[in-house]
Amino acid sequence: MLNFTEEIKNEITLSSVSDKEGAQAILSAFIRTSGSIISRNGFFGFELVTENERTAEFFLNLLEEDFGLSLTVSGAKFDLLSGKDKLAFECADEKTDKLLKELKIVDEDDDGYFLNFSVGEEIFENENCIANYIKGAFLGGGSCTLPEEGISSRTGYHFEIVFSNKLTANDFLDLLCEFEILAKLVMRKDKWVVYAKSKAVISDILAVMGCENGLEKLNRVVELKDKQNNANRVNNCSVSNIDKTVTASVNQVKAIEIISQTIGLQSLDKPLFEVAECRLADKNASMQELAVRLNISKSCLNHRMRKLSELALSLTD
């Protein structure tokens, strides 16, 4: 039985990449998350590693049909953690060398050629390229888990993509921000991990990647867990949680009123002004309700509320 990560990856591989820029974006991200740069006979090339058969087939076809490259199997080994075989493919010839330089993975300056870990400004300029880059990164180094059935389940919502370089990971965070998705970054051993534990953030990322089936499954799990949690809260009296929500709302209103009485709400940039105006218009609304009205994710709303609170605090010092 497939796990949720495999389901997402398989769904991504079923989507077509219709333009050259999108193909370059998804390939560039995959190389940066699951590949390594090699050199053969004076040419730069790359080796790609994956344990997902459909992912391997997807990129073999993409490289052949869109870029005219043919990969060869360079090795296979059994991965103890996943319990699956990992296949390694490589390609190093004149065409591959040219492609790596076109993707700016291999770049050049006055001192010669070097590995460029930056995502590249050309990706940021095209929303379709951003979405494809996110897909490629997940296919190469991503995983996603959902809570297991049962109220006492120890597993929770978790999404992550592993990068070998901090610069690439930070650039990836910026790509997510283009869709108003706020993820976090942590170092794990010698790798950098972009992650999210919020079901709302995970939902937003799946939507960007076009994973409708994954979204449906996530929503089913969320609905089931919410029902279980609500029943549990009723049994244990959720007065404290209600108090926290009310307190948070009161504190938000106080912060906004401090800003209004000092520098004025009109001094805020448009996103913060809209949040402040929306909160004052309905002081009892939940964060989820406000997020829906503002057409932004709940995590994005929390981020903007924190900015307003920090601004108000600085004005009272």
List beta partners, residue 107: 114
The total number of structural domains in the chain stands at 2
Query: What CATH number is given to the structural domain containing 28?
Result: 3.10.28.10
Label residue 231 by pLDDT band (50, 70, 90): low
Question: Is the distance from CB of 45 to CB of 90 less than 8 angstroms?
Answer: yes
User: What's the pTM value of the predicted model, to 2 decimals?
Assistant: 0.70
Residues 278 and 159 placed together within one structural domain of the fold = no
Residue range of the domain that includes 259: 237-316
In one-letter notation, the amino acid at residue 212 is E
The verdict on 189 and 302 lying in the same domain is no
Residue 230 within a domain: no
Name the helix (H) or strand (E) containing 159: strand 158-163
Q: Are residues 246 and 120 in the same domain?
A: no
Q: Are residues 271 and 176 in the same domain?
A: no
229 belongs to a structural domain: no
Of the residues 200, 224, 248, the one at which a domain ends: 224
Using one digit for the tens of pLDDT, what is the confidence trace for 112-127? 888 899 988 888 888 9
Those residues whose C-beta lies under 8 Å from the C-beta of residue 112, and which sit 6 or more positions away, are: none
130 and 175 belong to one structural domain? yes
**Confidence band for 200, pLDDT divided at 50, 70 and 90:** very high
> In the structure encoding, which two tokens stand for residue 163, read together?
């990068």
186 & 305 share domain = no
Is residue 173 located within the same domain as residue 73? yes
224-263 burial: b if 16+ Cβ within 10 Å, else e: ebeebeeeeeeeeeeeeeeeeeeeebeebeebbebbbeee
Q: Are 14 and 135 in contact (CB under 8 A)?
A: no
* Domain assignment of residue 209, yes or no: yes
Please indicate, yes or no, if residue 171 is contained in any of the structural domains: yes
List, for residues 36-84, the tens digit of each pLDDT value. Answer: 899 888 899 998 888 888 998 999 999 999 999 988 877 776 565 555 6
Domain boundary among 181, 201, 224: 224
Digit-coded pLDDT (tens) for 260-291: 899 998 999 999 999 889 888 988 888 888 88
In angstroms, what CA-CA distances link 169 with 166, 234, 265, 296, 312? 5, 42, 35, 23, 32
* Contact present, 184 and 154 (Cβ < 8 Å): no
